[in-house]
């Protein structure tokens, strides 16, 4: 018969944190959320440390270049999804590495032959009111004009009116050539009283926009995650099928770290992928692996050379692996066991291999629990999919704004390489769903609130770093009735209007 593990598979919702002594030194300003991203030797520093313990999921509906830029500016990191062509993924990596603060690539574009109706649909879908008109509707096509809300009147103009008939044409616009500094761009904006300055490359191709509102609301990003050349740090997802083609292109594009994306990382295919990367590109090319849920899985990938190990099977909000295959484990139990294995491996070898908790986060306090249980950082999909910066459409459904969110194991993503079992087999069933998540606004605003909650909890524990949290925090199991006790109860809650 099968080996039966008697320990109950537990989730984050089954735990609470017991307060520790909060001294006068335990204030939010004194809390440091820096954490290692990749393997390092005892007494040394990791090649990359995160300034906040968050990375975004390797998903079509989450991690493109736009989110990667926004998250890196806040101190986290995105792994740009790999379920796309090698060329397009490499282009996104280059876009992040070439990003210049204040210079924004146009994410809403249209051709002159489209109509006002198309403009309105594009504006509703993307949320952007400034639209670049290019010859082919791409972000870097030949720049022909600009559309803002001042160029049309919905009450009087025909929906079938052509873009070319109401756009502000190139000849009437003040533009700048690529290569100028942000300070020079802002001087042009102020001198000519502009709201938007298009920045053009060779042959009149659109490169960036610089906005007056960004200058007026610009704040420094003290947590920005950047390399030694002051370029933003970015990751990329790979699979165990086409890595010999994908990895060289990503390395050439300047990727800082890669991660093998799979629902089950305890496999020889992941070992082969890691060995290929290390043997052909050297130990300086960093790659994480996963996902696993126990000591055996962690030890296998750590010994194979993984620079970090991702933990979690079936706990994502759009993942149905447990329903379909009966494979997985409660995320809290997984993290606790794998964290012990990481510490055991560190004591034995002197190599610290960080672990990433992937899935199982429902409430913000679950993030603090995951860190206290031993996770070095968290990978999240649903959390980031809600923001303006994610690549999906914003829709109005039932009177509420939502954003699309689908799993890599869904038929929509068609990311079958993620579920590779070798040979020529094909995935015959889905392990993810297609869904919506409530729209939440800008990443920066939400992230500040979330990290504030984590820091506040850490102060209540009497700690100021993640390592201290892992060493000092006390956790307690909760009963179903104590969960009810912890929320609003025995009262009639007033309805509030937004």
Strand-pairing partners, residue 402, are 395, 438
- Counting every residue written for the chain, the total comes to 498
Q: What's the CA gap between 14 and 95, in Å, rounded?
A: 42
414 vs 101, 239, 263, CA distance in Å?
34, 13, 14
Tell me which H or E stretch contains 347.
helix 331-349
Q: What's the CA gap between 239 and 273, in Å, rounded?
A: 8
Q: For this structure, is 259 an active site residue?
A: no
Residue 106: closest CA among 75, 136, 63, 72: 136
Q: 393: how many CB neighbours lie within 10 A of its CB? A: 14
Strand-pairing partners, residue 394, are 403
What angle is formed at CA 377 by the lines to CA 75 and CA 367, rounded to 5 degrees? 100
64 vs 33, 237, 335, 455, CA distance in Å?
24, 11, 27, 28
Residue 148: closest CA among 92, 194, 101, 84: 194
Q: For this structure, is 319 an active site residue?
A: yes
* Token representation of residue 446: 């939400």
Residue tagged active-site, from 107, 246, 319, 461: 319
Q: Is 274 helix (H, G, I), strand (E, B) or coil?
A: helix
CA 130 to chain centre: 25
Rg for the chain (alpha carbons), in Å?
24
Residue tagged active-site, from 259, 418, 459, 461: 418
454 vs 75, 348, 372, CA distance in Å?
15, 32, 11
Tell me which H or E stretch contains 325.
helix 321-325
Tell me which H or E stretch contains 472.
helix 466-472
Q: What's the CA gap between 61 and 46, in Å, rounded?
A: 30
Active site residues: 319, 418
């Amino acid at each position: 018969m099968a080996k039966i593990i008697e320990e109950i598979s537990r989730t984050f919702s089954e735990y609470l944190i017991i307060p520790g002594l909060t001294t006068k030194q335990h204030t939010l300003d004194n809390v440091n959320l820096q954490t290692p991203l990749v393997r390092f030797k005892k007494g040394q520093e990791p090649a990359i440390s995160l300034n906040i313990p968050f990375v975004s999921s390797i998903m079509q509906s989450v991690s493109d270049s736009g989110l990667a830029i926004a998250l890196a500016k806040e101190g986290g990191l995105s792994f740009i999804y790999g379920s796309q062509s090698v060329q397009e993924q490499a282009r996104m990596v280059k876009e992040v590495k070439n990003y210049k603060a204040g210079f924004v690539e146009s994410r809403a574009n249209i051709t002159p032959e489209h109509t006002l109706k198309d403009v309105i649909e594009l504006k509703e879908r993307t949320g952007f009111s400034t639209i670049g008109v290019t010859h082919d509707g791409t972000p870097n096509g030949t720049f022909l004009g600009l559309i803002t809300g001042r160029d049309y009147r919905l009450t009087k103009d025909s929906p079938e009116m052509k873009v070319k008939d109401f756009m502000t044409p190139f000849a009437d616009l003040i533009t700048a050539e690529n290569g100028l500094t942000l300070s020079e761009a802002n001087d042009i904006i102020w001198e000519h009283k502009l709201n938007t300055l298009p920045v053009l490359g060779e042959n009149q191709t659109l490169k960036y926009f610089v906005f007056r509102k960004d200058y007026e609301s610009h704040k420094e990003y003290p947590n920005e995650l950047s390399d030694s050349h002051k370029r933003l740090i970015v990751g990329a997802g790979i699979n165990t099928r086409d890595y010999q083609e994908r990895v060289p292109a990503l390395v050439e594009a300047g990727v800082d770290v890669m991660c093998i994306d799979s629902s089950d990382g305890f496999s020889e295919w992941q070992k082969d992928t890691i060995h290929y990367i290390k043997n052909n590109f050297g130990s300086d090319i960093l790659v994480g692996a996963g996902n696993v849920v126990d000591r055996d899985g962690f030890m296998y990938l750590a010994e194979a050379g993984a620079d970090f190990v991702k933990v979690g099977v079936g706990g994502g909000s759009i993942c149905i692996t447990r329903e379909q295959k009966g494979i997985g484990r409660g995320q809290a139990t997984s993290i606790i066991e794998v964290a012990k294995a990481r510490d055991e491996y560190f004591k034995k070898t002197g190599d610290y291999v960080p672990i990433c908790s992937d899935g199982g986060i429902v409430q913000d306090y679950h993030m603090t629990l995951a860190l206290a249980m031993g996770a070095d950082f968290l990978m999240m999909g649903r959390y980031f999919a809600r923001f303006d910066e994610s690549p999906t459409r914003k829709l109005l459904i039932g009177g509420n704004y939502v954003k699309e969110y689908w799993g890599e194991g869904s038929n929509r993503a068609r990311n079958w390489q993620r579920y590779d079992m070798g040979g020529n087999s094909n995935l015959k069933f889905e392990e993810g769903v297609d869904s919506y998540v409530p729209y939440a606004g800008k990443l920066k605003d939400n992230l500040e609130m979330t990290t504030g909650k984590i820091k506040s909890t850490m102060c209540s524990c009497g700690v100021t770093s993640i390592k201290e949290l892992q060493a000092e925090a006390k956790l307690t199991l909760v009963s179903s009735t104590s969960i009810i006790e912890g929320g609003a109860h025995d009262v009639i809650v007033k309805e509030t209007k937004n």
